[in-house]
Amino acid sequence: MSVFIRRLTIENFGPYLGRHLLEFGARPGVWVIYGENGRGKTSILNAFRFALYGEVLGRLGQKRPQDFVNRRHAEEVADARFTLQLDLEMGPDLYQISRSCSVSGQQSLVVKQNNSALSVEGGRRELERMFPPKLADFFLFDGEMLQRYEQLGHPGSAQSDKVRSEVERLLGVTAVEEAREHLDKMQAKFHRELQRVLTRADTGDDKSNMLAQLLGQDERLAADRELIRQKQARNESELKKIEQALEDQEEAQRHLREIESLQNEFDNIQTEIADLNATLSNLAPDLWKSIVGVRVKEMLRSIRSQAAEERTRQASELVRRAIEVMARGVSNGQVCPVCSGVHWSVIELDNAVLEASMLADAGSEFGSTRSEATEDALDQILASSKSGEIRIIRDLMDAKGAAGYLIHRNIQTANTQLLGINREEVRKLVSSRDSAITLRNRINSDLKGCEKDLENVRSNIDRVQAQITEADSAQREIGGKISLCRQLTALFDDAREEYKTRTLREVKERASSLFVRMRAETAYAGLTINENYGLSIVDSAGEVIPNPSAGYEHLVALSLIGALQGIAPMRSPVVIDSPFHRLDPVHTRHSVSALPELAEQVILLTFSEDFNRVDAQTGLGPRLVDEYRIERRSALESHIVQGFN
């Protein structure tokens, strides 16, 4: 079954002064509304949103609806109000939703079915059936708020759990679960009947007594389970209230999470700096060595230089002495240094040379030894000074300090965003939500245990019942009903799992097929899905592509919308603002041709740069039903015009 939007009537909402009509034939196709920036495209998306859900969204979260009463209208009329009317068609039924809000914030809602007004509660129920609020993002898609879609599909997050349960409801999984519950209750009812029959008959045989006992156990366990379920329902209701309250504080929560994360980062840095300081303290006994290290090196160089000078001086002395001895010999006339005549005392000369040589060697050795010993000592000092290590630690501390400073500044900036917000209240809500989620896990575990016990008892009931051969007709009759209920319950248990599996597979296949139609990067082979209906891009080997671009995240979100619409028992229209905002011309062209597959009725809010009219007409062909354009009359006033003639 499909829901179609027949008409949207906007009256004094946002930039739209007076009454404006957007007609959409109740038939499949694509409608395009063109408007340059600031003319009121997002106001039209919000008009749909307010009509369906009574809320208005800005880029940073919810806004006050009363602020959307047209300003000129508000200046002219006391207690002015805007009114939005949505005419829908579902099968043979026509629905008219009329919702308004005054400048004082007073809202009203009237839902008519085939011209008969429904009760407020009845009207809300019908609306929720056609457009489940938790899936609002899948009917009203804002291409500029992609982060809302990125949060989905991460198992464990409150948002994704909510979406999963709603998607399963939309796709009919919940109905199968409910049927199983009905069968279970019926079985319990038949058990009670059988117990009464056995009590009345009072045959006294062992099997009947055992059966009666088992039925008693069954009743007690069923009662326990009911209590656990009531507890579960109370907790879920509490959790829902908390989450609703937190939805209004979405921005505050985001900033608080950011501050918390930054604070953790800051604390980690502080710890690291403290650790580095401790390491420095351990190195403190040797710190002086590092400090005098440079000086010591200078001294070493100086000593080496002195040693070299000493060796040169000793060598010079050797030569000088040798020359002196030779000169003395010559002057004494004892020897001829050329012919080595007898006049010259060779022994004396040899001794002089030897002595000089020894002196020189001693001087050289002394200098060398002294230098080496000094070098060794100084090298040891330098080695133990750990100056390199100390320098690295100092550099690290400087870097950490700078990072800490930046984080501290970011914390201050985030804090300014929370001015006027009662942080304690938000923290309390977050803490309550966490507690409720913990309690939910415990209750679920208790429920599972109880259901297991119940299943065991029921198996025993079946077994004992089969052993009773002398049952009267009333026992046989109820036994037959119990048996049928048991089999149907087991069948629906299996069907539920099978349906979930098939649904996931079908969502994946449809989304993947849509994605492949829209993508230009052939290395991106398709999509994979997790149990929360979160989609990821995969390559041809099935490996997930990490961190795809914003443009591709956009395509993945569109693919999920199309897949859900394609398999839901109830098909609804999709309104998309900035549909191709993040896409290049090639991807835009691909996406345009896939648009009719996203939903039966698609309404686009775009501008000429984002979506060229000629491309629209070429890409969509006859599936393009109609075009509107938004014209600006003044800074505060826009008009909706049909067509371009």
**Residues contributing to the site for another protein (CB under 8 A):** 1, 129, 172-176, 178-179, 182-183, 186, 189, 192-193, 196-197, 474, 477-478, 480-481, 484-485, 487-488, 490-492, 494-495, 498-499, 502, 567, 569-570
Contacts of 130 (CB under 8 A, 6+ apart): 3, 88, 90, 95, 570, 572
For another protein, the closer of residues 239 and 468 by Cβ is: 468
For another protein, the closer of residues 397 and 570 by Cβ is: 570
- Distance, CA of 217 to CA of 620 (rounded, Å): 65
For another protein, the closer of residues 26 and 179 by Cβ is: 179
Beta-sheet strand order (sheet of 16-23): 16-23, 3-13, 81-90, 93-102, 107-113, 116-117
Q: How far is the CB of 504 from another protein (least distance, A)?
A: 13
DSSP 72: H
Unique residue bearing structure tokens 């100086």: 302
* Helix, strand or coil, per DSSP, at residue 57: strand
For 112, phi then psi, to 5°, come to -115, 140
What distance separates the 2 farthest-apart alpha carbons in the chain? 160
Q: How far is the CB of 147 from another protein (least distance, A)?
A: 32
Q: How far is the CB of 265 from another protein (least distance, A)?
A: 48
Instruction: Evaluate whether 52 touches 87 at the Cβ level (below 8 Å).
Output: no
For another protein, the closer of residues 20 and 191 by Cβ is: 191
For 189, phi then psi, to 5°, come to -65, -45
**Contacts within 8 Å (CB) and 24+ apart, 211-214:** 211/461, 211/464, 211/465, 211/468, 214/457, 214/460, 214/461, 214/464
For another protein, the closer of residues 449 and 480 by Cβ is: 480
C-alpha distances out from residue 80 to 17, 20, 86, 104, 354, Å:
12, 17, 20, 8, 124
Q: How far is the CB of 193 from another protein (least distance, A)?
A: 5
DSSP 133: G
For another protein, the closer of residues 491 and 544 by Cβ is: 491
Residue 531: count of CB within 10 angstroms of its CB: 11
Q: How far is the CB of 120 from another protein (least distance, A)?
A: 18
For another protein, the closer of residues 202 and 609 by Cβ is: 202
For another protein, the closer of residues 33 and 563 by Cβ is: 563
Q: How far is the CB of 91 from another protein (least distance, A)?
A: 10
Q: 3-state secondary structure string, 34-48?
A: ECCCCCCHHHHHHHH
Q: How far is the CB of 530 from another protein (least distance, A)?
A: 21
Q: How far is the CB of 174 from another protein (least distance, A)?
A: 8
Residue 134, H or E segment:
none
